[in-house]
Amino acid sequence: MSGPQPPLLAVSALSVEFRTRSGKVRALDNVSLTLRKGELVALVGESGSGKSVTAFAIMRVLDPAARITSGSLHFGGMDLLAMKDAELAELRGRELSMIFQNPRAALNPIRRVGRQIEDVLLRHAAVPRQALRAQAIAALTQVRIPDPEKRYAAYPHELSGGMCQRIMIAMALACRPALLIADEPTTGLDVTTQAAILDLMRELAHARGMAMLLITHDLGLAAEYCDRVVVMHAGHVVETAPTSRLLSLPRHPYSAKLIAATPRVDRRLDDLAAIAGNLPDLRRADLPPCRFSERCDRYTPTCAAPLPSNTVAAEHAVACHHPL
Amino acid sequence: MNDLLEVRALNKRYPVGPGRRALHAVEAASFTIRRGESLGLVGESGSGKSTLARILARLIDATDGSIVFAGEELSTLPAARVARTPWRARIQMVLQDPGDSLNPRCTAFQAIAEPMLRLGTATGPSSRAGGSVAERVTELARQVGLPEALLGRFPHQLSGGQKARVGIARALAPGPELLILDEPTSALDVSVQATILHLLDRLRKELGISYLFVSHDLNVVRLMCERILVMYLGRIAEIGPTEAVLDAPLHPYTQALVAAIPGRRRANMPHLELPGEPMSPIDPDPNTCRFHGRCPKAQALCVRSMPLLREHAPGHQAACHVS
């Protein structure tokens, strides 16, 4: 093969609408992002920014009220939008895995956790039955669950939140996926547990060359663990940049304000600035092309023109007429 | 006497199962909160911080120990009776998620007016206006930055930040001297969190009240508090001035906690991973440090004698044999 390698995941100009009783919610508009093999990328935004909808769209598990109105989704050269349900079911859990926010809710409460890992192996990896238990225990060992032989037989309610999330990771990684989507995997966990879980995920990703899309509202976490950051606001990708560049030289006014609003070790209360205004109502028919324009202090009439995507440096793109 | 609150040897045990087994939720807690001070209370789930906050809010009773508030012993008054005494007005609490804690059938006005009407403080000395309830509600709304036009709305018609403001106004309504804030911004986005933190800081300085600020976010506690109290499995691990605790933590648990703050580790702090899980809080060995088993610095002494709080620098105490 010659030429640049195609990305592992390519989301191109994706738009998603939800039909509700009070009108169409334009949840995603023209969202594009790519992930290379083995890359750790953070998808950062506040609630309502469209992070989870993007993840659900990639997994093709959107709510029935949602409709992908335009755009394309490619994963490992396959067109996800053209795949049949049966093909998608084969892909999910094997090539493409996802872990969710509340691990206790995602696990079956009345099935032993070891059996739940075996279910994944049986469904996706064609592991012979006599080897199942050993492989499930190996999976538990890999996510550093102490005493894996004993924990194999535990029910989710017998384990702490951190342990349950480790079980979810073991399940998600059991078939060695090429991409893991982690939707707020440590929300609700203690900080020391959060650090341990994310360290583990990063280490396993590096060891296996697995790519990870970390969905988080916490810019600090994104900065700590990811190579690149994709910032979303109201269903738009507003900026994409390598992590250290985004933090030191944000170009989109929203990214800059988000950074300024995040409490940090080296920041005093006086330096902490709130972001004025609210997210626009995504049901509005007259949504402006730039959905941040009504909260933005750099607004000019030019902003009523269609949103640009300016590449300002290598791997650094910003959707703004007046970048910083 | 500059102390508003003095807690001494406070214990809370919950009986569990048959026999005399007990869960030790809070053990031997002793500390003070000064007038006008903001004390941060941090710890992970199961550390007892919520139990401690609820005892101090006089929502539940301690098993034993003393709580002296403004010079008067408060622990002898059962929690069930506090609601009918003036104490209820002097200690108020702001609950975690205003979306869950506000009555969905009450307007913002009713939510703010209710504690005053119940406690009869609307025209009391704490009301500067001294006027009607309506005037006081309007004044509170102005203080917390809630537009007057929103007072007629129900919680579902308010944004997260607006609901947080209602929750704060409601707690301030009876004119408390101590405000217990239980994760007041954890349900909010960062863009809104910043405004609420500014508001809380301004209110404390304007009104001269004290805060017990419960949070798991050390970056937020650092911004909001003068001193920090760290709990681990029911016991105070460390207490001291914010900068000292966060920049030069003494207790190995605090060190691990500080090292886990995102962004901190990248800079200079070494990464400390805590092995294993916390020990069971049910009848733990009274002579073993609660952190034993996870502590990277444990020594033989740590299983023979419970470390007590020791002063390492003025006002900076830690309960560790090794530190």
Say whether A192 and B197 touch across the interface (CB within 8 A): no
Residue A162, pLDDT > 90, answer no
Average per-residue pLDDT for chain A: 92
Asked, for residue B236, whether it belongs to a domain, the answer is yes
Residue B120 φ/ψ, nearest 5 degrees: 65, 35
Please tell me which of the candidates B198, B267, B277 has its beta carbon nearest to residue A269. B198
A204-209 contacts: CB < 8 A, separation 24 or more? A204/A142, A204/A143, A204/A169, A204/A173, A205/A38, A205/A40, A205/A180, A206/A38, A208/A173, A208/A176, A209/A37, A209/A38
Q: Angle B35-B37-B38 (CA atoms, 0-180°, nearest 5)?
A: 145
Q: Angle B61-B65-B69 (CA atoms, 0-180°, nearest 5)?
A: 80
Orientation of helix A129-142 relative to helix A161-173, angle to 10°: 130
Closest CA to B182 of B194, B168, B192: B168
Asked, for residue B117, whether it belongs to a domain, the answer is no
| B262 contacts on A by Cβ (under 8 Å) | 195, 218, 220-221, 223-224
pLDDT in the model for residue B279: 87
Residue B122, pLDDT > 80, answer no
Strand order in the sheet with B3-15: B22-34, B3-15, B64-69, B72-73
CATH number at residue B21: 3.40.50.300
CB atoms inside a 10 Å sphere around CB B321: 18
Asked, for residue B121, whether it belongs to a domain, the answer is no
3-state SS of chain A: helix, strand, coil percent to 5? 35, 25, 40
Q: Counting one residue from A and one from B, how many pairs have CB atoms under 8 Å apart? A: 98
Closest CA to A54 of A85, A38, A30: A30
pLDDT tens-place string over residues B26-39? 999 999 999 999 99
| For range A232-244, the mean pLDDT | 96
Residue B123, pLDDT > 60, answer no
What pLDDT band is residue B19 in, cutting at 50, 70 and 90?
Answer: confident
Say whether A219 and B190 touch across the interface (CB within 8 A): yes
Probe site for chain A from B159, B188, B191 (most A CB atoms < 10 A): B191
User: What number of residues does chain B have?
Assistant: 323
H-helix or E-strand containing B211? Answer: strand B210-214
| For range B305-317, the mean pLDDT | 94
Radius of gyration, alpha carbons of chain B = 20
Asked, for residue B145, whether it belongs to a domain, the answer is no
Check if the beta carbon of residue A33 is closer than 8 Å to that of residue A58. Answer: no
pLDDT in the model for residue B20: 85
| For range B233-247, the mean pLDDT | 95
| For range B292-298, the mean pLDDT | 90
Say whether A223 and B262 touch across the interface (CB within 8 A): yes
Question: Interface of chain A against chain B, CB under 8 Å?
Answer: 46-47, 146, 160-163, 190-196, 199, 217-221, 223-224, 257-258, 261-265, 267-269, 272-275, 278
pLDDT in the model for residue B119: 85
Start-to-end Cα distance in chain B: 31
Check if the beta carbon of residue A322 is closer than 8 Å to that of residue A302. Answer: yes
pLDDT in the model for residue B125: 47
How many domains are there within chain B?
A: 1
Asked, for residue B177, whether it belongs to a domain, the answer is no
pLDDT tens-place string over residues B218-227? 999 999 999 9
Q: b or e along B61-100 (b: 16 or more beta carbons within 10 Å of the residue's beta carbon)?
A: bbbebebbbeeeebbeeeeeebeeeebbbbbbbbbbbbee
Say whether A258 and B190 touch across the interface (CB within 8 A): yes
Among all residues of chain B, which has the CA nearest to that of A188?
B45
Give me the numbers of helices (H) and strands (E) for chain B, helices first please.
12, 12
Residue A2, pLDDT > 60, answer no
Residue B131, pLDDT > 80, answer no
| Domain that residue B303 falls in | 1-35+46-81+216-323
| B261 contacts on A by Cβ (under 8 Å) | 191, 220, 265
Among all residues of chain B, which has the CA nearest to that of A147?
B276
Average per-residue pLDDT for chain B: 90
Say whether A220 and B261 touch across the interface (CB within 8 A): yes
Asked, for residue B127, whether it belongs to a domain, the answer is no
Asked, for residue B226, whether it belongs to a domain, the answer is yes
The more confidently predicted of residues B265 and A121 is A121
pLDDT in the model for residue A4: 66
What pLDDT band is residue B170 in, cutting at 50, 70 and 90?
Answer: very high
Asked, for residue B194, whether it belongs to a domain, the answer is no
Tokens of A317: 């793109």
Residue B129, pLDDT > 50, answer no
pTM of the model: 0.89
Residue B267, pLDDT > 60, answer no
| For range B235-245, the mean pLDDT | 96
B71 in A contact zone (CB under 8 Å): no
Instruction: List B residues 192-231 in contact with A (Cβ-Cβ < 8 A).
Output: 192-195, 197-198, 201, 216-220, 222-224
| For range A113-127, the mean pLDDT | 90
* CA–CA separation, A114 and A137 (whole Å): 7
* CA–CA separation, B199 and A262 (whole Å): 16
pLDDT in the model for residue B63: 95
Tokens of A316: 């650094």
pLDDT tens-place string over residues A126-149? 888 999 999 999 999 988 888 899
Asked whether the CA dihedral B315, B320, B321, B323 is positive or negative, the reply is negative
Among all residues of chain B, which has the CA nearest to that of A219?
B262
pLDDT tens-place string over residues A248-284? 999 999 999 999 999 888 888 998 998 988 889 999 9
pLDDT in the model for residue A63: 92
Cα dist. A286→A54, A283, B142, B191, B209 in Å? 23, 9, 33, 24, 46
B263 in A contact zone (CB under 8 Å): yes
Say whether A273 and B257 touch across the interface (CB within 8 A): no
Q: What's the half-sphere exposure (Cβ side, CA atoms, 13 Å) at A207?
A: 10
Say whether A269 and B201 touch across the interface (CB within 8 A): yes
Task: Specify the amino acid at residue A174.
Answer: A
B187 in A contact zone (CB under 8 Å): no
3-state SS of chain B: helix, strand, coil percent to 5? 35, 25, 45
